[in-house]
Structure 1
């Protein structure tokens, strides 16, 4: 049971801090007209986390990121994509007092943006490789995958919970102010992360 509890505690420890990924999922829960409409973002983020965790557990990610040009290219793409994403989120902010002007992201954009904040986020990548990958070295065979399953389960549960909380808070917004502020805060955090990524390149 130790690998299971270790994975759960580590998963929550890494995913709880406020970041681009969490902000985006919360944003979708709040902005979509129904909770089910935010599922593309939730599922995409969870699948991306699952992929990164599996790559870290098997050691593949360490090999991939040993190529400096590949890491630089990934961060550069991340900078431009997150910059664009922040602009879209800021522009999508509805006017105060106009609940009919909400512009929730389409399924395609939700998937693209959720994948970008998951796979092009240096914090997520480094946490997965450096922390989860290293911690998994304590276990072998079945215990290693029990540890991985626990971390993965935390991601799925957490993202769904974020979307639910966002939707509940969004239900109290009758004049559009909350939606506008959520979109703007999301855009600012995303732009900050884009600048951080660019700084890592140089």
Structure 2
């Protein structure tokens, strides 16, 4: 059975938007990638690790959730409603941040580190952060599992592409992006866009949950 391109594109973009909304935030992992980019030190290895870690966690979340929810439609609806509530809260928080000044700082100074040390730090910032499992495995996984089986791969591809594009831009474009990230106004605009996107996704997920009742 052939999957309609329009539907595949829609699911791909949904995964892309959701992942971008969750990953584009001021945090230790992003600051580390930005710092490595400013120092031009093991950028490719760090970017590849962070993107691959996200892709694996997203894939595990979607596949694991799909299997767990396959025989439990009531649990699937509950998680859809919970996901909608989470996205609503996340969107509200992003809009609240948009009203306040903030910025991402990353110093380019300091002594160089080995590739092994850089990857160890990237692993710590990525895998020791409990929010990464909430975002990728539980939230993205439960939303991706709501898609039809033929479309889950598109959702995973979209979410993984967002992570890859973000880390590539952050690491390799650091010298051009750093001044922009240092401007509080830029983060206010970005948080505003994220907030609106999360609210739209929340409404779509809520509609999906209610139509399944």
Instruction: Give the TM interval when normalised to the shorter protein.
Output: 0.5 to 0.7
**CA displacement at 1:115 relative to structure 2:** 1.4
The alignment partner of 1:156 has SS state of helix
**CA displacement at 1:142 relative to structure 2:** 2.4
TM-score by length of 1: 0.59
For structure 1, which runs of at least 5 residues remain unmatched after alignment? 64-91, 95-101, 173-177, 179-202
For structure 2, which runs of at least 5 residues remain unmatched after alignment? 1-8, 69-106, 183-213
2-structure distance, mates of 1:48, 1:149? 14
1-structure distance, mates of 2:172, 2:44? 10
Checking the alignment, whether the CA contact within 8 Å between 1:41 and 1:111 is kept in structure 2 is yes
The one of 123, 128, 131 aligned to 1:123:
131
Cα distance, 1:128–1:169 mapped onto 2, change above 3 Å: closer
**CA displacement at 1:108 relative to structure 2:** 0.6
2-structure distance, mates of 1:2, 1:40? 31
Displaced runs of 4 or more, over 4 A: none
Across the aligned residues of Structure 1 and Structure 2, the Cα RMSD in angstroms comes to: 2.8
**CA displacement at 1:93 relative to structure 2:** 7.7
The one of 56, 59, 63 aligned to 1:58:
63
Aligned pairs for 1:66-85 within 5 A: none
Checking the alignment, whether the CA contact within 8 Å between 2:35 and 2:108 is kept in structure 1 is no
CA deviations on 1:132-154 (whole Å, 9 max, x unpaired) are: 01111221322011000100011
2:42 maps to 1:42: no
Residue 159 of structure 1 is matched in structure 2 by 167
The one of 26, 29, 34 aligned to 1:26:
34
**CA displacement at 1:38 relative to structure 2:** 1.1
2:121 maps to 1:113: yes
**CA displacement at 1:168 relative to structure 2:** 3.6
2-structure distance, mates of 1:125, 1:104? 30
The one of 69, 89, 112 aligned to 1:104:
112
Checking the alignment, whether the CA contact within 8 Å between 2:39 and 2:108 is kept in structure 1 is no
CA deviations on 1:36-63 (whole Å, 9 max, x unpaired) are: x311111111111111111101117x99
